[in-house]
């Protein structure tokens, strides 16, 4: 069993999936008959990570009720007092941690080797190369480091993108505000100082946070190793 803690960011409003999810929060939307949250938990547990904390806000009671029915007493829950942004949410959920920890955005589906990622240096972002980067900001990568964050391209282009899976040191949240976006405040600063590392994943990954990609994830469900 691995001693590292994982935080799943499962508190977003999921407005882009509202037509599909209805009254359910996004983590409980099903892909291949299994909730997105279960896919992520299965991936973590496959790699020996059972120390899991959920960062919640929107419809937190539904997510907690689902987890307690499925995995009674197994997880920790942190409910934001108000939406704090990705950075503020991670900071709030990790405020008692002293060692590096994993973070998973709540809509990422992948067959990534989490065990290998855990062997990376702290402050590492999982990245993949996509054939159409228009929905994502591009990354300038050199020698295992992220050097620069670029804006979303206007035309179809191949490039490396941020997958929303991180290995972080708690120290990066020192002297940060209560509410902020990690993609705007912390990552560019670490990149500028040469301290933001890359874990390059060459397998499957999809952000199922939009209707189009959610439908694609369901169509491609048999590609995933953890199912």
Pairing label, strands 108-110, 205-207: antiparallel
Written as one string, the DSSP assignment of 114-182 is: HHHHHTSPSSEEEEEEES--TTS-BEEEETTEEEEE-PPPSS---EEEEEEEEEE-GGGGTT--SS--H
Averaged pLDDT for residues 10-39: 88
Backbone angles phi, psi at 130, to 5 degrees: -115, 155
Give 41-68 pLDDT, tens digit per residue: 999 999 999 999 999 999 999 999 999 9
pLDDT at 115: 96
Degrees (nearest 5) of the Cα angle 217, 222, 223? 80
Rg (CA), the chain: 17
pLDDT at 223: 66
What is the distance between the alpha carbons of residues 185 and 188, in angstroms, rounded to a whole number?
A: 6
The catalytic residue positions are: 152
What is the distance between the alpha carbons of residues 176 and 182, in angstroms, rounded to a whole number?
A: 10
pLDDT at 21: 78
Which DSSP letter does residue 28 get?
Answer: G
What are the residue boundaries of the structural domains of the chain, listed by start? Answer: 6-223
Q: What is the pTM assigned to this prediction?
A: 0.94
Q: Does domain 6-223 fall into CATH 3.40.50.720?
A: no
Averaged pLDDT for residues 212-219: 92
Pairing label, strands 6-9, 52-56: parallel
Give 137-182 pLDDT, tens digit per residue: 899 999 999 999 988 888 899 999 999 999 999 999 999 999 999 9
């Amino acid at each position: 069993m691995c001693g590292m803690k994982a935080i799943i960011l499962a508190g977003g409003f999921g407005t882009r999936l509202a037509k599909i999810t209805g009254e359910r929060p996004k983590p409980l939307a099903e892909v291949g008959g299994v909730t997105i949250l279960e896919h992520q938990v299965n991936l973590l547990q496959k790699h020996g990570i059972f120390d899991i904390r959920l960062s919640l806000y929107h419809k937190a009671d539904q997510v907690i009720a689902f987890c307690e029915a499925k995995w009674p007493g197994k997880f920790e829950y942190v409910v934001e007092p108000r939406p704090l942004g990705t950075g503020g949410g991670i900071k709030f959920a990790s405020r008692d941690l002293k060692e590096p920890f994993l973070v998973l955005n709540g809509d990422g589906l992948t067959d990534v080797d989490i065990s290998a990622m855990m062997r990376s240096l702290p402050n590492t972002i999982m990245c993949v190369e996509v054939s159409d980067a228009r929905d994502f900001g591009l990354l300038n990568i050199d020698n295992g480091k992220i050097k620069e964050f670029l804006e979303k391209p206007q035309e179809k282009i191949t490039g490396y993108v941020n997958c929303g899976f991180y290995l972080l040191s708690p120290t990066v949240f020192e002297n940060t505000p209560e509410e902020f976006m990690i993609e705007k405040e912390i990552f560019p600063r670490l990149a500028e100082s040469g301290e933001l590392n890359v874990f390059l994943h060459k397998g499957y990954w999809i952000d199922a946070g939009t209707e189009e990609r959610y439908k694609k994830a369901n169509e491609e469900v048999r590609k995933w190793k953890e199912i």
